[in-house]
Structure 1
Amino acid sequence: MPDATRSLVELVDDFSSILANDPGPLAPDRQEYVHNLHGAGVEDQVALLERQIRLTRGGQLYYFSGMRGTGKSTELKRLELMLNGRPNTRAYVVDALDYISDTHELDTLDLLLVVAAAFAHRLSQDDALGEPQLDQEGPLKRFSTWLQSDVEIQGATVAGIKVDFKRQQQSIIQRIRAFDLARQERVMAECQAFITDMADAVRQKWKIEKVVLMVDSLERLRGVGSGAAQMFERIVKVFYGDERRLRVRDVQMVFSVPPYLPYLTNVKAFVQLFMLASVRVCQPPDVARRQPRPEGLDALETLVTKRFADWQRVLSRDALHKLCIHSGGDLRQLLRRLLASTLEHAAFLPPERLPLQAGDEVIQTVLDAHRVDFEDLVVQAEYPLLKSIAERNALELPERSDLPVLAHFFDLRAVLNYRNGKDWLDINPLLWPLIDSWTPPAPHASPAAGSA
């Protein structure tokens, strides 16, 4: 095999390997991180949230949201770094799904218990309170004793709490669901008090004023099958109906929440919400509907370049931008699906075929395959709602019974949200051909008056 050919084959394999080994949430100091991917200044939701936390004293509750694939976990790491760069603040990110599964039937008591446990485990690390606090009389030791005595989690310790929660998840649910109302109220209040006490210990050790706790991954909670509607109702009740219980004295709390929450509830009247949008690869609908937005395409090009600098030996710039547009600005759809599939094809092409051009049949084959996959995820009964969103770039639900359907759309990423000065919606570009060409059936004509 000639050296040039071997080099090109290895290049495609290297590119594929990078995409297959996704680094996950990125810290801002990582080479792959793209600054201002979602906008700068007042368009930067993380900068706005950081400013609000910085200006607010005492306890406060914030919600941070966005579609799956927009980079929320990465941006929470950035927020943590920004806050810890301030002399009077300590901020910590915990991942709720380290303690419960993504199908956990969440309620407010569960959430507060998980948050307290996650905070305790995080504080046992050396950059917080440290492991010695586990053996000394203090909030971490008291919390561990309380878990075993009051919540009756057998053998629970702060050091092993991730494993304990995962292993005993079902039995813990059954036990706390059996608590009477008064006991549930008491346990929730005790969870809040433990979080406050732990935060006070952080203040004393580090001689700081403000403690921020960020709880990630809650937007990934989902119901399965017939339990989907019930999960939706539980999430709405926790983050909308019970938001006051999520407030903790003297602690700034940030919860990741599902992206459908602000569209289906009046939650913004009670909680400050910061919403991460998909990368704006298209112009806003009132400017040039579904036309490419160069700044957004350039941002995604930068993202790809930071992961693999030699991508232009495999794809032309026009081909990459075509994939970017059809990703809808969704990072996962671009990197893990469209680009990864394109490279699978490229690995078996003759070298003279590369770099692939935008009009190459391989690009269209990849788009067609993923379009069919996406079309199979929606059913005809959902077409009218998708059509309405596509035409209005906004949400107008005809029936309250459609609420779980919309939540399902956001979970699938069949609907994406954007922000160009104002928030707007569109359906996923892979659904454009199907939904744009669909016309509602004509209503049945009523029998003529007087007919037999």
Structure 2
Amino acid sequence: MNAPSLGPLLDDFSKVLANDPGALDVNSAMYVPNLHGVGAEDVIALLERAIRRTDDEGQIYYFSGQRGTGKSTELRRLATQLNAQSDTRAYVVDALEYISDTHPLDTLSLLLVAAIAFADRLAQPDGLGVAPAREDGLLARFTGWLRTEVDITQVSIGGVKAEFRKQQQSIVERLRSFDLTRQERVMAECRAYLSDMAEAVRATWQCRRVVLAIDSLERLRGIGGEAGAMFERIVRVFDGGIAQLRVPGVQMIYSVPPYLPYLTNVKALVRLFVLASVRVCQPPATARREARIEGVAAMRHVVERRFPRWRELIEEPALDRLILASGGDLRQLLRRLVLDVLDEAYFQQERLPLQASDAILEVVLKRHRAEIGNLVVRNEFPLLRGIAQTHALDLERREDLPIVAHFFDVRAVLNYRNGVEWLDLNPLLWDLISTSPAVQPATHEPGTA
């Protein structure tokens, strides 16, 4: 194939990568099974087993992992597997369809979003069938309660989502004005409605177990000076408010930020399941930062599923170089590294397929090293260096907790799991942190100069 004919192929590959399909169903042609491992390495298999074997229908679980690891896709797989069992009905709802990712979360607003999202989901044809249409039905009573108790106007069954987002700021202010007694009452009523909805599911589907997963909460973030405040809210809700998040009759799964299990004591209080980055490197005790063949091949398979003709544009060693630079982060690989390489190559098609030594790869990697380097500041380097050396967190000061949360949020630090869990820096930071001179630890808000 001569070089001019590769333009349409570059466009097609770029279009596939730029148009993120979002969470995938297990029957999608793009879905890659066993991406994160099999058996005891499969976090979804462990979570499914925990759900199946519990008799406590008020159990809660935390599900964590960084953006780009495929959590939403894997939660869908969990629901599919659970729904294949006659005694279980599982639902996944996305919290960020109702609130923004900078929403000042508290336990009351989380329970309210959970109840609203569950009601919306049950209003769909495969929810409670014809029951939602009844004017005196459960979901109609719930929306009436939203109008009177929370003052969310113009809501209807199955149509709460748009109104909640539209009125989000005024709802936050209204909830903040509630005194403690009213807050406790509204939270109790939210839990009661969630329990009633679960009971309606059991009656409709003749099942024993109801599971509700609240997705995307790990994407909540603070901007600028609000970063520390958001960190404190997250810890207060998911560490300090565990008892309030339990719902009788429902096994609840809450997605939580990836820093939470490292910076709090939640592991001792809640069953926690962490979806790690794809293990493209060997564990530190085996061969520190050396390529793990199985992990690299799994990431290559992801590219293959999205665009089978990729080898006409980039040779396998070149793609493997980008895979290692991604640290096993799917989003960083697909939507940033590979996509940028294709854009750079578009006007230099005579160099295709790109080799691992091609200068185009170094141009792109240099750019992304600079970008992620700008997300941390120099007096944060000692914390990063400590993580790089020990592959764990060993903080000396409590004030460093929000800074480490920032590292997870911007993916300066990645988490892995292979029998044991370990941490490492994003590979794009390896050289910067290892060659930087020692400075005093950070004492400021994360991400600010």
Q: Considering the TM-score relative to the shorter chain, is it more than 0.5?
A: yes
Map of 2:445 onto structure 1 = none
d(CA) in 2 for partners of 1:116 and 1:155?
17
Return 5+ residue gaps in structure 1 as ranges.
444-452
1:7-406 matched pairs, under 5 angstroms: 7-57=5-55, 58-130=57-129, 132-351=131-350, 353-406=351-404
Q: How far does residue 258 in structure 1 lie from its aligned partner after superposition?
A: 0.2
Q: How far does residue 440 in structure 1 lie from its aligned partner after superposition?
A: 1.1
Q: How far does residue 249 in structure 1 lie from its aligned partner after superposition?
A: 0.4
Q: How far does residue 136 in structure 1 lie from its aligned partner after superposition?
A: 3.5
Query: Deviations for 1:111-149, whole angstroms, at most 9, x for unmatched residues?
Result: 000100000010000101135424342221111111111
| Aligned-residue RMSD, C-alpha | 1.3
SS at match of 2:239: helix
Instruction: Please tell me whether the aligned partners of residues 3 and 352 of structure 2 are also in contact (alpha carbons under 8 angstroms).
Output: no
TM-score normalized by the length of structure 1:
0.95
SS at match of 2:198: helix
Query: What amino acid is the match of 2:11?
Result: D
d(CA) in 1 for partners of 2:207 and 2:284?
47
Number of paired residues?
440
Query: What amino acid is the match of 1:232?
Result: F
d(CA) in 2 for partners of 1:442 and 1:151?
49
Q: How far does residue 32 in structure 1 lie from its aligned partner after superposition?
A: 0.6
SS at match of 1:150: helix
SS at match of 2:62: strand
Q: How far does residue 441 in structure 1 lie from its aligned partner after superposition?
A: 4.7
Q: How far does residue 270 in structure 1 lie from its aligned partner after superposition?
A: 0.8
d(CA) in 1 for partners of 2:423 and 2:143?
46
Distance 1:160 1:380, change over 3 A: same
Query: Deviations for 1:278-306, whole angstroms, at most 9, x for unmatched residues?
Result: 00011111111111110000000101000
d(CA) in 1 for partners of 2:393 and 2:114?
33
Map of 1:447 onto structure 2 = none
Query: What amino acid is the match of 2:149?
Result: D
d(CA) in 1 for partners of 2:249 and 2:191?
10
d(CA) in 1 for partners of 2:104 and 2:216?
15
Q: How far does residue 156 in structure 1 lie from its aligned partner after superposition?
A: 2.3
Q: How far does residue 110 in structure 1 lie from its aligned partner after superposition?
A: 0.4
SS at match of 2:150: coil
TM-score normalized by the length of structure 2:
0.96
Instruction: Please tell me whether the aligned partners of residues 382 and 439 of structure 2 are also in contact (alpha carbons under 8 angstroms).
Output: no
Return 5+ residue gaps in structure 2 as ranges.
442-449
Query: Deviations for 1:58-93, whole angstroms, at most 9, x for unmatched residues?
Result: 221000000111000010010010011111111111
Instruction: Please tell me whether the aligned partners of residues 218 and 256 of structure 2 are also in contact (alpha carbons under 8 angstroms).
Output: yes
